[in-house]
Amino acid sequence: FVPPPAPRPPDPGPLDIRVTVDVVLPGTEPEPTPSWWQRLRIRWIYNLGCAAAAMPLSGPWAAVLIHVRDEQSLAGAWTFAVIPLAVLGLLDNARRIEAAHAAPDLWGPRIRAALTRTALWAAVIATVTALPIETAVYLLTGVRP
């Protein structure tokens, strides 16, 4: 017994093909686009200033993280550190966009953006000073000091 051949699939409809042609006339070459590192626009002085202003705030937060790490657990301390970092990161992005699109003579959005960036730097510095070394020791040796 031979099964009947499978039915052919229906023919697809007509294809929609679009072609785009860019014509560059002599003497009208497009401007070269800047490289990705030139488009980053990292404001080094602004970030260093915010990080310097965040130093006094990072000490108490690092102490809180160390207390949570010692009294509860390392995972709890990382959770306690990452949640504010995520919230501050999102808020920093929103404040930066708000300041970029504000009128040039308005200082409020720029001050709020700088304060949020300072708080983000404080959380980053506190997390970096309190948790990674202890985590590396714990992961590599399995012994809690």
129 falls within a domain: yes
Q: Contact, 90 vs 105, CB < 8 A? A: no
Q: Which domain holds residue 87?
A: 51-141
43 falls within a domain: no
75 falls within a domain: yes
21 falls within a domain: no
Q: What is the pLDDT of residues 78-125, one digit of tens each?
A: 999 999 999 999 999 999 999 999 999 999 999 999 999 999 999 999
Token pair for 22:
């860019």
Q: What burial class does residue 131 get, using C-beta atoms within 10 Å of its C-beta: 0-12 exposed, 13-18 middle, 19+ buried?
A: buried
Mean pLDDT of 21-47: 78
* Domain count within the chain: 1
Residue 31 has pLDDT above 90, yes or no: no
Residue 46: pLDDT band (50, 70, 90) is very high
